[in-house]
Structure 1
Amino acid sequence: MSVIAIVSQKGGSGKTTLALHLAASSTQGKLPACIIDTDPQATAAAWGDWRGDFLPIVVTSPPARLGKTIERARKQDDVEIVVIDTPPHAEAAMREAIKAADLVLIPSRPRAFDLHALEGVADMLQHSGKPAFVVLNAVPSGATRQIAEATEAAKQLGLEVCPVTFGERADFHKSSAKGEVAAEIDSGGKAAKEAKKLWKWVKKQLG
């Protein structure tokens, strides 16, 4: 079983969108997945309620119980991929998620304030030894220069950048509000293709 932690100190960075689409892509690819929602706002859990009985599984857990929750997922439901969705401005939750993870993803919009928030996460990751990548999210169309500048800003902090980006796509927002993912409302759309491409890349990182 592999564990992916989605962490960011900035609210609105797209952590939950990333978590939902990775877990759904995993499940659609015949690798049963579980989303562990450690955010008190429980956005991922609400999505799971709207989704009903359709996979992936969504469970909630306080950060202090994260290890036990992962172990329970390991023993039940044949789960092969765990995706941890963390709250912003919560170092304890992020540290626990990083400690449990095989791969850490840090979503960030390619904007100055968002990129500045990477500094705190970079500090946390410095001695973790965990592979970690910034995933640029909500990227405007044709923003080649913004991507280049964001990539350089991340590198200055010692962070690598995922080669796959998520654009500012309506399908990400519309699908989440219905308990779905982008591929379920338009399988040929740009959002669905980006999610599929990201999952393919993540699988390669997990080996």
Structure 2
Amino acid sequence: MPKTDQPTIIAIVSQKGGSGKTTLAVNLATRAAQASQESCVIDTDPQATAAAWGDWRGDFLPVVVTAPPARLTRTIESAKKNGVEFIVIDTPPHADAAAREAIKAADIVLIPTKPRAFDLAALEPIADLVSFAKTPAFVVLNAVPTGATVLANEARKTAEGMGLSICPVELGDRAAFHRSSAKGETAAEIDPSGKAAQEVDALWKWLNKVLKKAQK
């Protein structure tokens, strides 16, 4: 885990497109900035969705930089030199090499997935990667429909059956996530008291507890 003078590094990985990696990355990095941490998103996806969000956002934290997987280590080192305290790595789908590099660099891996069969099946290769790397990893159920308790429970069981740990905080299928992304903002910025903002805050608090526990 990171030393006191080292940044916290979170890798967001999934082999499935549309799992919510970028949404999770920018919301967490912005929440870190709101907690007075110098934060940065490293976008390793050739589609550069996080970078586009950063362009729309303008000169507000988090900083968003693009980097191919081969330059990830150098980009992290550059961020460290610039005083960045919280780094989120956004990775592309269908790219084992990029996921492997991000997992290797990270203190914690978050694996967003929708609670659907095709999405859950895409967890298997990631489960193998994190098991090999021995980096702490947690599945984050994302875009969970309102009232879909049975669906969410089945998704948890499926992920656990692959040997993956489950984040206790779920992200619902909230319009605030979609609306905010198109403006270069986050759910908490367009609706601070909304359910999406509350979910991100709960995820942030849980993540910090996990990090503190791992550092002991």
Report the TM range for the smaller structure's normalisation. Answer: over 0.9
Give the whole-Å Cα distance in 2 for the aligned partners of 1:206 and 1:34: 18
Aligned to 1:95: 100
Q: Does 1:168 align with 2:173?
A: yes
Name the stretch that deviates more: 197-206 or 156-165. Answer: 197-206
Offset at residue 129 of structure 1 (A): 1.2
Give the whole-Å Cα distance in 1 for the aligned partners of 2:189 and 2:128: 37
Aligned to 1:43: 49
Offset at residue 17 of structure 1 (A): 0.3
Aligned to 1:15: 21
Aligned equivalent of 1:199, options 195, 204, 210: 204
Give the whole-Å Cα distance in 2 for the aligned partners of 1:97 and 1:205: 19
CA RMSD, aligned part only? 0.5
| Structure 1: segments with no counterpart, 5+ residues | none
- TM-score (norm: length of structure 1): 0.99
> 5 Å matches for 1:22-171?
22-76=28-82, 78-171=83-176
SS at match of 1:187: coil
Offset at residue 125 of structure 1 (A): 1.1
- TM-score (norm: length of structure 2): 0.94
Aligned to 2:4: none
SS at match of 1:3: strand
Encode CA deviations 1:56-107: one digit per residue, 9 max, x unaligned: 100000000000000000010x211100000000000000000000000000
Aligned to 2:3: none
Give the whole-Å Cα distance in 2 for the aligned partners of 1:62 and 1:33: 19
Give the whole-Å Cα distance in 2 for the aligned partners of 1:205 and 1:32: 20
Give the whole-Å Cα distance in 1 for the aligned partners of 2:58 and 2:43: 16
Between the aligned residues of both structures, percent identity stands at: 67
| Structure 2: segments with no counterpart, 5+ residues | 1-6
AA partner of residue 130 (structure 2): L
SS at match of 2:133: coil
Runs of 4+ in 1 over 4 A off after TM superposition: none
Offset at residue 134 of structure 1 (A): 0.2
Give the whole-Å Cα distance in 1 for the aligned partners of 2:126 and 2:158: 13
Offset at residue 205 of structure 1 (A): 1.4
Give the whole-Å Cα distance in 2 for the aligned partners of 1:113 and 1:147: 14
Give the whole-Å Cα distance in 2 for the aligned partners of 1:197 and 1:125: 24
